[in-house]
Each structure stands twice: as structure tokens, then as C-alpha cells.
């Protein structure tokens, strides 16, 4: 899953793809490098970021998605949003998956909406919202709490009629370094649910912290290490900025596994 942030303020690529033509060029490049899913987001979810209005998010994402879906009909597109109105417009345009970092907490109606379009849904765990989530995240047992969250979320999605569910423990969303490391180490436990597991650690602060405060542009090798470990633990979707490198590592992983 290649990341396309059409935002002015995302932590890694903020401001680079706010122009539709530049966004389409980036999508084409990610597809050429091996991305099978393109995740388009119009609101930054980095810690401390400010929310944007529904109107603004629609203005940023929908024109790009409309053109991208037409130009790349064989590619799967997801909309990274927590808002009903944005998800609805994206699904009307033909998007296949809703990637909801709030895990139905902000907008429970996303379950029915996805079901009515036959769309997939990424159920991501978070504690708190982006503005405050990193202030003091606390868990009794992070794996247990995420397991309970997945159980309840899957139940709600199944009841609504969503057939295609992807589980994501939400690296960096209300988690300390220790929580993130425990999640990556224990990821296999979530494969018991029988749904695809998504891992998104690309260039995140978890990597920077492990590597003595390494800046964002020096986190590629660390990202690949975390993602490779996740593949070994059962992840089947990697959400990444660096598509070529991720695709190469998946190819190597698959050839060693078979």
C-alpha cells in the first residue's frame, strides 16, 4: 500500500502532492514500483496535527481520486479518512477501501456505508485522537486491549454487512515506543482473527527513537527491518512511502517462504 498524502502538513511528505497533476505522477510512480493499493489522505494524522473540515478534505482528495480511478482502473484505491461525508464521496467515485484511523470511533456509520458499497474497511486501533494521542498513552496490556478492540470492531462490521476487513494495530497512534515494539513483536497473535493484517511503520517516530532520534529521511532501513519482522509475524499489507524498497523486501520474503 503506497501512501499519498494530499495535505500541506503530513510528517514526511506534507505539501509535496497538493497539486493534482503532481499527485497523479506520484501515484503512477508508486504503481510502477509495485504498489497494489494506493491510500489517499487529505487530513494529516501525525501527532499534534489539527483536524481539517470535511469540505477541505473533500476538496483535497476527491479530484485526485476521480482522475486516478479513471487512469488506473486495475489498481485498488483506499481513502484515508474518519469522516462520513468524505468516505461517501470517495466511494461514489469508485474507491474500494475506507482506511479509518479512528476504528469506527469517530463515525460508526462508516460500517453501514462500506457495506452498502461492497467496500473494504481498514479497522485501525488508536488511543485518543491525533491532536493529543501521544501526550500520555497508557495500557494495562497493549496486545490484550487491541485484541478486544478488534473483536468488537469485527463484530460491528460483520453485523453491518462488511465482508472485507483489514486489521491494523495502529503503530504510533496513542502508543509509546515500548507499546509499538510489543505490538510488532506480538503481531502474530492478531492473525488468529483470520483477516489480513496491515502494518504501517513507514518512517514513523518509533524508528527515529530506536535509531537515536534519526530524522525522517534517514529511517528507510529501520522501516524495512520493522516491516520485514511484521511479514514474518503474519502481516500481508505494508503501508509505505518507499514503495520500491518495500516491494523488493516482499519479493525476497516471498521467495524465502515458498
Residues with catalytic function: 204, 239
Site for ligand 9MG in 122-151 (CB under 6 A): 122, 124
Kindly state the smallest distance separating residue 202's Cβ from ligand 9MG, in Å.
8
Please report whether residue 57 would count as binding ligand 9MG according to CB under 6 A: no
- CA 140 to each of CA 45, 136, 146, 154, 189: distance values in angstroms, whole numbers, following the listed order: 25, 13, 11, 22, 17
Give the span between the Cα atoms of 11 and 46, in whole angstroms: 6
Number of residues counted as binding ligand 9MG (CB under 6 A): 13
Kindly state the smallest distance separating residue 166's Cβ from ligand 9MG, in Å.
8
State the distance between the two ends of the chain, measured CA to CA, in whole angstroms: 22
Give the span between the Cα atoms of 80 and 4, in whole angstroms: 9
Give the span between the Cα atoms of 158 and 213, in whole angstroms: 41
Neighbours of 68 (CB within 10 A): 24
Nearer to ligand 9MG, 5 or 147 (CB): 5
Site for ligand 9MG in 21-50 (CB under 6 A): 41, 45
Collapsing DSSP to helix, strand or coil, 256 comes out as helix
Site for ligand 9MG in 151-170 (CB under 6 A): 168, 170
Please report whether residue 239 would count as binding ligand 9MG according to CB under 6 A: yes
Site for ligand 9MG in 71-90 (CB under 6 A): 80
Please report whether residue 102 would count as binding ligand 9MG according to CB under 6 A: no
Nearer to ligand 9MG, 4 or 70 (CB): 4
C-alpha grid cell for residue 96? 474500494
E strand residue ranges, 163-247: 165-168, 198-199, 237-238
Nearer to ligand 9MG, 31 or 120 (CB): 120
Task: Give me the residues that bind ligand 9MG (CB under 6 A), please.
Answer: 41, 45, 80, 99, 101, 122, 124, 168, 170-171, 198, 200, 239
Amino acid at each position: 500500500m503506497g501512501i499519498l498524502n494530499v495535505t500541506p502538513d503530513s510528517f514526511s511528505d506534507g505539501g509535496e502532492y497538493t497539486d493534482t497533476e503532481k499527485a497523479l505522477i506520484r501515484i503512477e510512480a508508486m504503481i510502477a514500483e509495485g504498489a497494489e493499493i494506493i491510500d489517499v489522505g487529505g487530513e494529516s494524522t501525525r501527532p499534534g496535527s489539527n483536524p481539517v473540515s470535511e469540505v477541505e478534505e473533500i476538496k483535497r482528495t476527491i479530484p485526485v481520486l476521480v482522475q486516478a480511478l479513471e487512469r488506473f482502473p486495475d489498481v485498488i484505491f483506499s481513502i484515508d479518512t474518519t469522516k462520513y461525508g468524505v468516505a461517501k464521496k470517495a466511494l461514489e467515485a469508485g474507491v474500494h477501501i475506507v482506511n479509518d484511523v479512528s476504528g469506527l470511533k469517530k463515525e460508526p456509520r462508516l460500517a453501514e456505508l462500506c457495506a452498502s458499497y461492497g467496500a473494504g474497511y481498514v479497522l485501525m486501533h488508536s488511543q485518543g485522537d491525533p491532536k493529543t494521542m501521544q501526550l500520555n498513552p497508557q495500557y494495562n496490556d497493549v496486545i490484550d486491549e487491541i485484541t478486544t478492540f478488534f473483536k468488537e470492531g469485527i463484530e460491528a462490521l460483520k453485523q453491518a454487512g462488511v465482508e472485507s476487513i483489514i486489521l491494523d494495530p495502529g503503530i504510533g497512534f496513542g502508543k509509546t515506543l515500548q507499546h509499538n515494539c510489543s505490538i510488532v513483536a506480538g503481531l502474530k497473535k492478531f492473525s488468529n482473527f483470520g483477516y489480513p493484517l496491515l502494518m504501517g511503520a513507514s518512517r514513523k517516530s518509533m524508528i527515529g527513537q530506536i535509531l537515536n532520534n534519526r530524522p525522517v529521511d534517514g529511517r528507510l532501513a529501520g522501516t524495512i527491518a520493522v516491516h520485514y519482522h511484521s511479514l514474518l509475524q503474519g502481516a500481508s499489507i505494508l503501508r509505505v512511502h518507499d514503495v520500491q524498497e518495500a516491494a523488493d523486501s516482499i519479493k525476497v520474503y516471498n521467495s524465502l517462504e515458498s
